[in-house]
Structure 1
Amino acid sequence: MASLDARVITNKDPSMADEPIIVEISGLQPSMKITLHSSIRAPNAAVYECFAHYIADNRGKICLDRCESIGGDYKGVEAMGFMSFMKPSNLNKRKYERFLIKDPTKPFHIDLRVFDGHTPSLEDMSAEKRFHTNPHLTITRTYMAPGVVEIPVWDGNVRATLYLPPGKGPFPGIISMSGGYPGAMKFKAALYASHGYAALALKFFGEDDLSEDALSMDLEYIEEAAVFLRSHPSVYGRRGVGIIANCFGGTLALMASAVLPKDLIRCVVTINGWPFSLGSFYYKGKEVCTDSNPTIQISVSADGIHTWISSLPSNLTVEQLKSFTLPFYNKHDTSYLFITGEYDGYCPSLQYGSYVRMLFNDARHPDYELLCYEKAGHLIEHQYYPLANVAWTFRDPHFNGGQQPEHSKAQCDSWGKMFDFVAEKLRVCPKSKL
């Protein structure tokens, strides 16, 4: 398979990590078959890649926003498929690498290469061919819009990084929390700041002088972080702040919203966060826990992949359900958005979603939304983020679930709805969608 003398251009470069762009390939023969290969080499040297088959039109052009891929890692019209459908390369030294930019101040780069013909698989393209030829186009993507400021935070007990949008503000405040990953995933907070929010990437275990145990915390830590953010001179905090959190961070957000003072947490977005406690948590010297706990089954495959499946009994009444869940549904001054994937590798999200709805309705909660996405997995990230079906969590590879193309569609749909939700609750004008 030979590299072609094709011309590849994009309508915008650099661009934001969640921003759609248009890629066009020209200089081909009419009806010519080509393979488009895209790749990223992350700062930790891990490689992510995918490929797709296209056929040029009668002008010798291919526009990814209009032309169908007829094979490869994705099919159909997928303008951002070269990014959304990437997966860890089989050339990586460590399997199951998750695409992760730890330092959002540095952009990342996508290499696009065009080859003659339709290759059956990445394995049929030697590493020399797909990586050692000059790319036809290198696209630069970033998590920090021009003017966004990064500020390390070591204030009282709070360990975090604050990202502020350009301008004087004040800006609505968001706390960003991750799951079973030590420290904070700063790229999310940087992206929130790029959308006009003062975003605090909050660490809660595994770094600095914080505990190594994610399953034990005094929730006054989250209260202190929320007070810090609400009181910051660049933050409009009269209505409180929001929390956007995924996985176990979402569980902590629900715990905190249940016990923290009124008007501190205005809204919570939990992305596949569990509505029950796991571990030992306290607030004002009292234990925050549930009377009953779900069943957790842990298995390890021959490949070393850990699967944690939590489950609750079926057909629980509301009163029975309350013994398993945290009383977040009683906080009528806090708005909630639950984003879940049907193929979440950690829990039966459809069952949990129906139970959460029962609790909200029984409590006559005035403001909640539930979004459940068909075949989406556990790690629902920003739009165009590659699916991490398996990823390292708590220092082991964990099964997260999800299937393409549904997972990619879920990320695109939920990303915009999430910003609409927090903009309304924090009473700001939603930023125009990219």
Structure 2
Amino acid sequence: MLHVDKVDSLLTEKLKITATNLVPFRYYTTTKVVSIHIVSFDLMNLEKSIYRKTNRYVELIMVLYHYYVDPMGLFISLQASQELRFGGSLRNDSAKPSLISDSEKVLDEINLKKHWFHPLVTKIEVSQDGLYGTIFKPPGDGPFPCIIDIPGANGKISNGVAAVYSLEGFLVYTLAFFDYKDLPKRFCSMNGPESFYKPTALLKENGKLMECEYFDHKLSINFNGVIKQSPSFTAAFEKLKPETSIKWNHISKNISFRIISTLDDWILDGVVNGSNVRRQLINSGHHVEIDFVPGGHLIYVPYYPHSSHTYNKFDRLSLGFGGECTLHGKSQETVWENNFKFFKKVLGTPPSLPDYERDTVVVVPDSELKRDSKL
């Protein structure tokens, strides 16, 4: 009854999922169960033995209710079920759509495989002279247009986005920049000590000390555990001088910019911040394009399950990312497509990757799906 045109596909490829032989006027639900891999994190002072065991598989369940027709509706509306611990991060490795009737009987199901990494792309690990990262090289001798991906989440090597970038035929570098091996353990250690928390900063620009204003935390107000920082920021902003501002005119005019600002970000005001950066770049004569899209704080790769909250190990709290699940998922799809229109316009269009040998039937061992399913 269920049919999928490609059971083995790349993450960004769109699928056609259809169901036949259904009874008119009966209620049917399409459900997708995803086997995911949990990203390790230390939550609430867990014992190290437990911490090491957080790399495990659980089931992620999503029930789709279509408000409009979208061929990838099952994928853009993914969100975590109660089996996933609050604040946990995850990635989508494989998927199984099911068709359930109004009697809650499973009528049919098909295993799918989604690749974040093209089987014909070469993955090269780099570890030399303080440079750590991964290179994703397309097949062939090149030259290839190149993307350098610097993940901002934790400073370590994070291959997810870079691998998906390489699906389009680009040569991709992704690099660690702190909290990894012999690199500085904290971001602020890369270029001076806690610049916003001490009267005298040691941040440098072109080898010279930058002038920074002192951020006075004592002006902040605490309401039942919620900190209102506007008085501290207001006091700091009143002291700002042209010398402490970004030198927009010093940025090369050969650099083109693309900005993604979300409308439902619970951490930063995407509209205000995005508009300010765009205005400054336009005034300084740069080429810039911007997308204002519905979504929360983290716009990731297409069809990445939405998380409205994520645990932050540095601050030891769960951050509210925001964003409505389906709108956020659709934005990840459209933003990704527009990103590559921009890259191809600015960097050039790489050769298309050759197709790989695809499975016609995907078998997922029951032991893999059920292993450590309870957190």
TM-score range, shorter chain: 0.7 to 0.9
Secondary structure at 2:91's aligned position in 1? coil
Q: Does 1:200 align with 2:173?
A: yes
CA shift, 1:147, in A, is 0.9
Length, aligned pairs only: 322
Q: Does 1:326 align with 2:246?
A: yes
1:176 equivalent in structure 2: 149
- Deviation string for 1:397-426 (max 9, x for gaps)? 211111233222322221111111122222
Check whether the contact 1:163–1:189 (CA below 8 A) recurs between aligned residues: yes
1:96 equivalent in structure 2: 87
Q: Percent identity of the aligned residues? A: 21
2:64 equivalent in structure 1: 52
Q: Does 1:368 align with 2:288?
A: yes
Which of structures 1 and 2 has the larger relative contact order (alpha carbons within 8 angstroms, sep 6+)? 2
1:426 equivalent in structure 2: 347
Corresponding letter in the other structure for 1:17? L
1:122 equivalent in structure 2: none
Aligned pairs for 1:11-50 (under 5 A) are 11-43=5-37, 44-50=56-62
- Deviation string for 1:23-47 (max 9, x for gaps)? 1122332332111111212133243
Q: Does 1:167 align with 2:140?
A: yes
Distance in 2, Cα, partners of 1:363 & 1:387: 36
CA shift, 1:393, in A, is 2.8
Aligned pairs for 1:21-420 (under 5 A) are 21-43=15-37, 44-53=56-65, 69=66, 75-92=67-84, 94-100=85-91, 108-117=93-102, 136-218=109-191, 281-282=203-204, 285-287=207-209, 325-328=245-248, 330-331=250-251, 332-365=253-286, 367-373=287-293, 375-395=294-314, 396-420=317-341
Change (3 A) 1:90 1:195: same
TM-score (norm 2): 0.73
Change (3 A) 1:371 1:309: farther
Secondary structure at 1:408's aligned position in 2? helix
CA shift, 1:10, in A, is 0.7
Point out where structure 2 has 5 or more consecutive residues left out of the alignment: 38-55, 193-200, 354-375
Corresponding letter in the other structure for 1:88? A
Distance in 1, Cα, partners of 2:221 & 2:59: 29
TM-score (norm 1): 0.64
Distance in 1, Cα, partners of 2:224 & 2:9: 40
- Deviation string for 1:306-362 (max 9, x for gaps)? 99999976xx99x97966753355312211111110111221121112222331233
2:52 equivalent in structure 1: none
Distance in 1, Cα, partners of 2:142 & 2:302: 26
Distance in 2, Cα, partners of 1:415 & 1:26: 32
Change (3 A) 1:372 1:117: same
CA shift, 1:141, in A, is 0.2
Distance in 1, Cα, partners of 2:21 & 2:337: 36
Distance in 2, Cα, partners of 1:379 & 1:420: 21
My pick for the range that moved more, 179-188 or 289-298, is: 289-298
Corresponding letter in the other structure for 1:19? E
Secondary structure at 1:88's aligned position in 2? coil
Check whether the contact 2:121–2:166 (CA below 8 A) recurs between aligned residues: yes
